[in-house]
Amino acid sequence: MDKMVNLKINNIPVSVPEGTNVLEAARSAGIRIPSLCYLKDINEMGACRMCIVEIKGGKNLVASCVYPVSEGMEVFTDTEKVRNSRRITLELILSNHRMECLTCPRNGNCELRQLAAELGIDEVRYSGSQDKQPELDTSALHLVRDNSKCILCRRCVSACRKLQAVGVIGPNDRGFATHIGSAFDRPLAEVDCISCGQCTVVCPTGALTEKDDTDQVLAALRDPTKHVVVGAAPSVRVTLGECFGNPVGTNVEGKMYAALRRLGFDKVFDVNNAADLTILEEGTEFLHRLESGGTLPLFTSCSPGWIRFLEQDFPEFIPNVSTCRSPQQMFGAMVKSYYAEKEGIDPKDIVVVCIMPCTAKKYECKREEQRLPNGCMPVDISITTRELGRMIEKAGIMFNSLKDEECDPLLGMATGAGVIFGATGGVMEAALRTVVAKVTGSEMGPLEFHEVRGTKEIKEAEYALPGKTVRVCVASGVSNIKKVLKGIKSGELNYDFVEFMCCPGGCVNGGGQPYQPADVRGHVDLKALRAKALYRQDEQSTYRKSHENPMIKELYETYLGEPGSHKAHELLHTTYAAQKRYRV
């Protein structure tokens, strides 16, 4: 039990554990202290000076996000002095911020703008640098940085360094020249950025946004010669609703299908179906490696951010990664082969659009080794949940009042196993369901593998199969992936099968998911609530094991042969290659 400290906040007595900062203590008294840089447990550095408060007996105002409580302390969060100081600081921040609010991608969910409204800033008295020009880095496939809107809060830097242990950005130079950038101010495309997009979800302003590819989607939809097919990733159905004010963890699958039809897609399939397909291929690959003494542990390959990290930082483990394409790429591959042949459409006339929780998927779908034997790239355009939200809004679709619809079954129908891909541990659980059934030859085995569920950063479990105990591990967030890889390398950790997801908590917390202000992010367990909605859908599914999916069965019977067949290899598997970390 932590030692408790008693203090007063605006004369209200509160008791909080020792070591708590004043900002969090104030929350327990029902007072929200504004901040632009604070990100609980991740970015606590007092950079923005918005959270300053007055402490009785103190000489100066203090930044409450880095000021620990002490016994008998008296804090005042809303005095005239505090208000004035916050207003002046915010005006100074705004004086150096390129204000194009009406045309900014963050219009409507900008934390800076929100705070300016809260503090009643109706005038900026300081002119700073007049006619500020955009300072753009558009080099990367997945995001755009515009430093003219950056307020130097360092949230992106912390997300990159602490959550993802990649650290490709940091504050460069000093004083007024200070700016966030890569080493030697190289463009993002030239450094070892893994494209995860975690920096974009924590940015309070429009300085970091995903690269908007929605115009390409619209162009395809308006082109009468193109047959446009769409599929959304498992996690998108439990997050898209947030773009329309629904509570975190609302499943809007039916409305999502309805909205996609209203946007004009010719076929509304579902990447869940390809997730099931992934399990059959990956499960077969695992069993094959297990039986034939192949390279183990087997690593999952669904997460392109993780793959990029592996290729750059741990290329020695490339033989351990499953050769399976990710569900997004399997989806595109099936559309442009199986579906195209079945419907008699030239695959070159098909445009495959994927809705992803992920910015790295934009990079993945452009990787040359993804090209299919027929010369097509499996996926043409990959957009994030946020971009889909904006497309729906712009099209005037009244999302919340739409009636639920079903997806087109052919490459849409999915099992509960496919749905849970969106949460950390989901791919492992889905694979175990199928692997256990295959090994035991019985469908009576366990259906739920609770040991691999939950938002714990690294999860381990052992399952006894006939003749072999399978040791599994699930890790999400690159900092945790790094720990596991180092452990495996040193021989300290021993597993047979490992699920790695680049983003902490898996795809439900992906870099392309809807914005939530830092205040919500720090105090609502987004990962758990969103994942819960996926597991609920799994529970309610008719089929819960990938190999029971009737559409997948038909796909193998009529087209692919069997999992791991030559044709399956051509269409559903890929290769990896070591990549350089530095470009000198």
Partner 1 sequence: MPNTKTAVPFQGTKEQEEQLRRIIAEYKDTPGATMPILQAAQSIYGYLPEEVQIIIAEELDVPLSEIYGVASFYAQFTLNPKGKYRISVCLGTACYVKGAANILQAIKDKLGIEAGGITPDGLFSLDACRCVGACGLAPVMMINDEVYGRLTPKEVGPILDKYKE
Rounded to whole angstroms, how far apart are CA atoms 194 and 143? Answer: 11
Comparing CB distances to partner 1, the nearer of 169 and 207 is: 169
- Of the candidates 44, 111, 282, 311, the residue annotated as catalytic is 282
Could you give the C-alpha distances from 327 to 105, 274, 300, 421, 563, in angstroms and in order? 29, 5, 11, 9, 15
CB of 137: closest distance to partner 1 in angstroms? 14
Could you give the C-alpha distances from 157 to 29, 310, 379, 522, 564, in angstroms and in order? 31, 21, 31, 17, 42
Active site residue 539: no
Contact between 161 and partner 1 (CB under 8 A)?
yes
CB of 549: closest distance to partner 1 in angstroms? 43
272: which 2 tokens? 């869940």
Comparing CB distances to partner 1, the nearer of 186 and 456 is: 186
Active site residue 44: no
CB of 530: closest distance to partner 1 in angstroms? 29
Q: Which of 31, 45, 76, 170 binds partner 1 (CB under 8 A)?
A: 170
Dihedrals φ, ψ of 458, to 5°?
A: -130, 125
Active site residue 443: no
Q: Looking at the DSSP assignment, which residues form a beta bridge with residue 321? A: 299
Residue 523: how many other CB atoms lie within 10 Å: 12
CB of 40: closest distance to partner 1 in angstroms? 23
Comparing CB distances to partner 1, the nearer of 132 and 482 is: 482
What is the SS3 string spanning 124-146? Answer: CCCCCCCCCCCCEECCCCCEEEE
Active site residue 429: no
Residue 336: how many other CB atoms lie within 10 Å: 27
Angle of helix 385-394 relative to helix 253-263, nearest 10 degrees?
60
Q: Which of 1, 80, 130, 177 binds partner 1 (CB under 8 A)?
A: 177
Active site residue 282: yes
Contact between 185 and partner 1 (CB under 8 A)?
yes
Q: Where does this chain touch partner 1 (CB under 8 A) — which range of 170-178, 377-385, 447-455, 545-553?
A: 170-178
Comparing CB distances to partner 1, the nearer of 126 and 184 is: 184
# chain residues binding partner 1, by CB under 8 A: 19
Q: Quick check: helix, strand or coil at residue 189?
A: helix
Contact between 584 and partner 1 (CB under 8 A)?
yes
For 262-321, the DSSP string reads HHT-SEE--HHHHHHHHHHHHHHHHHHHHHHT-SSSEE----HHHHHHHHHH-GGGGGGB
Contact between 168 and partner 1 (CB under 8 A)?
yes
Comparing CB distances to partner 1, the nearer of 10 and 172 is: 172
21: which 2 tokens? 């900062």
Q: Where does this chain touch partner 1 (CB under 8 A) — which range of 178-186, 245-253, 277-285, 425-433?
A: 178-186
Q: For the CA atoms of 114, 116, 121, 123, what is the dihedral angle to 10 degrees? A: -110
Contact between 554 and partner 1 (CB under 8 A)?
no
Q: With beta carbons less than 8 A apart as the criterion, state whether 195 and 140 touch.
A: yes
CB < 8 Å & 24+ apart, contacts of 308-312: 308/194, 308/195, 308/360, 308/363, 308/579, 309/166, 309/194, 309/478, 309/481, 309/502, 310/576, 311/576, 311/577, 311/578, 311/579, 312/192, 312/194, 312/578, 312/579, 312/580, 312/581
Comparing CB distances to partner 1, the nearer of 166 and 230 is: 166
The angle subtended at Cα 484 by Cα 385 and Cα 460, nearest 5°, is: 85
Active site residue 364: yes
Active site residue 459: no
CB of 225: closest distance to partner 1 in angstroms? 46
Q: Which of 43, 158, 182, 541 binds partner 1 (CB under 8 A)?
A: 182
Contact between 174 and partner 1 (CB under 8 A)?
yes
Comparing CB distances to partner 1, the nearer of 167 and 454 is: 167
Q: Which residue has the tokens 């946020």?
A: 386
CB of 501: closest distance to partner 1 in angstroms? 21
Peptide bond before 297: cis, by omega within 30 degrees of 0?
yes
Comparing CB distances to partner 1, the nearer of 102 and 584 is: 584
Q: Where does this chain touch partner 1 (CB under 8 A) — which range of 100-108, 162-170, 266-274, 516-524?
A: 162-170
- Of the candidates 44, 253, 285, 387, the residue annotated as catalytic is 285
Q: Where does this chain touch partner 1 (CB under 8 A) — which range of 177-185, 335-343, 490-498, 553-561?
A: 177-185
Contact between 267 and partner 1 (CB under 8 A)?
no
Active site residue 65: no
- Of the candidates 149, 211, 267, 361, the residue annotated as catalytic is 361
| Chain residues in the site for partner 1 (CB under 8 A) | 161, 166-174, 177, 182-186, 191, 582, 584
Catalytic residue ranges: 282, 285, 302, 322, 361, 364, 369, 507
